[in-house]
Amino acid sequence: MPLAVYLIGLGIFAQGTSEFMLSGLLPDVATDLGVSIPDAGLLISAFAVGMVIGAPALAVATLRVPRRTALVAFQLVFVAGHVVGALAPGYWVLFATRVVSALAYAGFWAVAAATAVSLVPPGAKGKVLSVVGMGLTLATIVGVPAGTLLSQHVGWRAAFWGVAGLTVLSLLSLLAVLPAGRAEGAEMPSVRRELKGLARPALWVSYLVTLLTFGAAIVTFSYLAPLLTDVSGLPEGWVPVLLSLYGAGGLIGVTLGGRVADAAPLRTLVIGGGALTVASAALALTAGSLGVTIALVFVLGVTGYVVNPVVQSRVFRLAPDAPTLAPAVNTSAFNVGITLTPMLGGLAIDAGFGFASVAWVGAGTGALALAATGWAAALQRRADRGPGITGAGPGEGPTLATSSVPSPVPSSAPSCVPPSAPSSVPPSALSSDPSSVPPASSNPIGAGVKSGR
């Protein structure tokens, strides 16, 4: 695996930590800024909104910009957003910095995914995206708990300073490793060709699967800290440990998913999505039992992230002539899920149903994800039976046999040395990502979550 792929994963780790770390900072942020926990939770949704808008828009805007230049520019904006956020005097300033930082992270993720895939042969897409996405998962294991510890002992602002410093380190490493210009003989990207590549119904169903699957994973993670302390009775000092347990589950999940993403994608989606739905419902029913909750936190991490490499790699197969814009829209799909389900969870809490109710939101969303996966499978079977169409691999999306569009990754691409699923946290993505676990933060699961993405 090329060294550059791991360094791209470092960038996802740094920025994914920010995406999902708010899941562990919510109580301290709410107290410091004088807002409720559900209002503080909207900072997660604000980050997701920025990623929804930023991923496709910035992918198009920078399509002809050398990838190293685009990646470094996005990271500079991200660092600036976190410096301002660390100094924010009030809620709305912090809210604005979350949106700006998310725009930069979205652009970074979209270009990073396309860059990583371009460094390996076509048959290794799922594996390379699992490596990049592992950056998001490690963010939930190491970054998010570290941010929670900093918040508890130094203050939540220290976590923002830490993310800024880590992103600077990632920026410098990419400057050192990635080439400055475009590869010799590389075809100039075309916005028209990329947009045409999106005109496939199966691709948009895949985006729906991404949205619902990561949304189901991130909603519980987003409110995991208060659920553990207020419902399960976990002492506050143990919250970072449980967040790390979730992240460890996510690491196992994304590793397993990376191994099967290229061979059995739809089957992985069904098994992973079904297990996530059952685990979410079980948590809603047993959140008052600390021992059971601890076990389910780990299971939620595994099931939330095992599907991450699949939902990320499928879009490259379904839209081979849109190698930048297809994953960018997928990043948006990750973060639509990250935006909507925490909002629904907050509404359930405000309605008086308690923190455990967010797990029911996750279970319901997971059931919808299974239905969307069935739709994707039906389209695949129809495409496999259609004339002039060849399968792109076992259970994968079709490509036209008569297509004259070259593969975005030549089979002779050298293998030198995630990818956000978050995924916190959320994650998710692309992230989420949409890595891209989350923790609970924009992302995902990234938080593990934007394993995101």
Residues 90-110: tens digit of each pLDDT:
999 999 999 999 999 988 988
Per-residue pLDDT at 202: 92
Alpha helices (H) in 392-443, listed in sequence order: none
Per DSSP (E only), the strands in 56-174 are none
Cis-peptide, bond into residue 219, ω within 30° of zero: no
How far is 305 from 254, CA to CA, in rounded Å?
Answer: 5
At 123, is the pLDDT very low, low, confident or very high (cuts 50, 70, 90)?
low
pLDDT more than 90, % of the chain: 35
pLDDT in tens, 26-67: 888 999 998 988 888 888 778 878 888 888 888 888 888 888
Residue 424 in tokens = 């916190």
Residue 438 in tokens = 């989350």
CB atoms within 10 A of CB 405: 14
pLDDT in tens, 227-263: 999 999 999 888 888 888 988 898 899 888 888 877 8
Q: Three-state SS for 399?
A: strand
How far is 267 from 96, CA to CA, in rounded Å?
Answer: 40
| Sequence-ordered list of residues with C-beta below 8 angstroms from that of 441, at least 6 positions apart, any chain | 18, 19, 20, 21, 22, 23, 44, 47, 144, 222, 424, 425, 426, 447, 449, 450
Supply the mean pLDDT for the chain. 80
Of the candidates 22, 68, 329, the residue with the CA atom closest to the CA atom of residue 180: 68
Per-residue pLDDT at 296: 96
pLDDT in tens, 261-306: 778 888 999 999 999 999 999 999 999 999 999 999 999 999 998 9
pLDDT in tens, 66-97: 888 999 999 999 999 999 999 999 999 999 99
pLDDT at 190 over 50: yes
How far is 73 from 60, CA to CA, in rounded Å?
Answer: 15
User: Which residue carries 């499928």 as its tokens?
Assistant: 314
Q: Between β-strands 389-391 and 398-400, what pairing exists: parallel, antiparallel or unpaired?
A: antiparallel
Average pLDDT over residues 389-413: 38
User: Which residue carries 């995406």 as its tokens?
Assistant: 19
Number of separate helices (H) and strands (E) present in the chain:
16, 2
Of the candidates 13, 133, 11, 130, the residue with the CA atom closest to the CA atom of residue 70: 11
How far is 79 from 68, CA to CA, in rounded Å?
Answer: 17
pLDDT at 118 over 90: no
Identify the bridge partners of residue 433 per DSSP, sorted by sequence position. 431
Cis-peptide, bond into residue 425, ω within 30° of zero: yes
How far is 146 from 192, CA to CA, in rounded Å?
Answer: 44
pLDDT in tens, 422-449: 333 333 333 333 333 333 343 333 333 3
Per-residue pLDDT at 414: 33
Q: In whole angstroms, how large is the CA radius of gyration of the chain?
A: 20
User: Lowest-pLDDT range, 119-128, 210-219, 359-368?
Assistant: 119-128
Q: Three-state SS for 390?
A: strand
pLDDT in tens, 300-324: 999 998 998 888 888 888 888 888 8
How far is 394 from 411, CA to CA, in rounded Å?
Answer: 19
